[in-house]
Amino acid sequence: MPDWRLEVSRRLSSLNLESARQVEIVEELSQHLDNRYHELISGGVTEEDARRAVLMELHDGERFAQDRPAEVREARGEPAGHGSRRQGFVASLAQEMRYALRQLQRNPGFALVAILTLGLGIGANTAIFSVIDNVLLEPFPYNDAGRIVYPRLHAATQGPDEGRQGFSSDELLAFAGQNYSFESVIGTLDDPVLYKHGAGVEWLYGADMSPGSFEFFGMSALYGRVLQSSDYRPGAPPVFVLRYKTWKANFNGDPKILNQVFALNCTARTLVGIMPPSFGWYDADLWIPKTPRPGVSMGFAGLPERWFMLERLKPGVSIAVASGDLTGITNHLAKIRPQDYPPQFQVFISQIGHSVAGQLESTL
């Protein structure tokens, strides 16, 4: 892992900052760079590319902080207070801006931290607005979204927002086949995809979808078709469905790629459909058919498969009743594989979007 402290200290050495102030700035920036580095790694970027991208961002922030004092040197003298009544608003504003830039010049280390902090703050506010707009203001585009829920297994010592949301194939099959509370149950599984093409390779975020998933969401493809039951039969030709955003960003929105064959994780798969812009389930770039099998199955990087489940409540069934239903099924599974469960637990279900919306509704 890169030592960001050494890199930041080297870039701040020419500023002749007080020792305490420099230590504070180094810690702040190093934490920010480390968070950004791991964010890129988790998104599929290689370690070397992630390190290079972080250093470029640091260089851009440093250059911006240094460019501002250059503009300030063009001004002369302090602003004459907050402006007299004879000064126009624009002239007064220009004076205030020149004064502020001069203050940043006197403390460039603080200026760099302030610029990065403002950037993070603006980004956070943008993200929060996007969450509110998409989760609270705009309804989910899925069929009967108000009855879609997801389960979470809580140990007795865990809080209401804790517990695991990933379930084994056995749990998915049991929930789907033994419940009395749901019309349908589906699962989604992480499946990072290495896409090989003429220009090289790139990582895409794939999601494996259990049978009936697109029927569950009730959405049609923009071009081509969605995954169908025939795609899950043994020996069926490998296929996939592409996200609209990925189609635009990676393939320039070219409709001619439909029905073409792509090398995904060394498997030749045919693109059978492109979804509309409103569909972005699991924030995946593409969706692949996969049938859960009984027993312990291994997924990406040799880790056990963990399905994220969605269920649609039957009309009139409450969340409390459905939670008790799944807890009973899981108690039976725990007798077969006690090593997979805590001594005491309960399965709770929540409406889709509740994990975000529930924390914001009281504030709004």
Of 220, 187, 214, 205, the residue nearest 284 (C-alpha): 205
DSSP H or E run through 20: helix 19-42
Backbone angles phi, psi at 269, to 5 degrees: -120, 140
Closest by Cα among 214, 208, 217 to 227: 214
**pLDDT for position 91:** 52
CA distances to 296, 303, 317 from 339, rounded to whole Å, are 13, 17, 32
The pTM for the full model equals 0.62
CA distance 54 to 1: 13
The per-residue pLDDT for 327 is 96
More confident residue, 34 or 314: 314
pLDDT at 124: 63
Would you say the C-alpha torsion 171, 173, 178, 182 has a positive or negative sign? Answer: positive
Q: Alpha-carbon distance 100 to 336, whole Å?
A: 68
User: Helices 47-72 & 4-12, crossing angle to 10 degrees?
Assistant: 20
- Please state, rounded to an integer, the average pLDDT across all residues of the chain: 80
pLDDT-derived band at 12 (thresholds 50, 70, 90) equals low
205-260 pLDDT per residue, tens: 999 999 999 999 999 999 999 999 999 999 999 999 999 999 999 999 999 999 99
Q: What is the 3-state secondary structure (H, E, C) of 47-68?
A: HHHHHHHHHHHHHHHHHHHHHH
Give the whole-number percent of the chain exceeding pLDDT 70: 73
Structure token pair of residue 75? 């001004």
pLDDT at residue 138 is higher than 60: no
pLDDT tens digits, 40-67 = 788 777 888 777 777 776 665 444 344 4
DSSP 329-340: HHHHHHHH-GGG
DSSP state of 218: T
Q: How confident is the model at residue 292 (pLDDT cuts 50, 70, 90)?
A: very high
Residue recorded with tokens 């969450």: 131
Cα 2 from chain centroid (whole Å): 24
Q: What CA–CA distance (Å, rounded) separates 2 from 67?
A: 27
Q: Which of 4-8, 268-272, 292-296, 325-329 has the lowest mean pLDDT?
A: 4-8
**Is the pLDDT score of 94 beyond 70?**
no
In this structure, the dihedral spanned by the alpha carbons of residues 292, 297, 303 and 304, taken in order and rounded to 10 degrees, is 70
Nearest to 275 by CA among 210, 237, 227: 227
Which residue ranges make up each domain of the chain? 4-135, 145-360
Contacts 24+ apart (CB under 8 A), 135-139: 135/353, 135/356, 135/357, 135/360, 136/357, 136/360, 136/361, 136/364
| 3-class SS of residue 255 | helix
Asked if residue 136 has pLDDT above 80, the reply is no
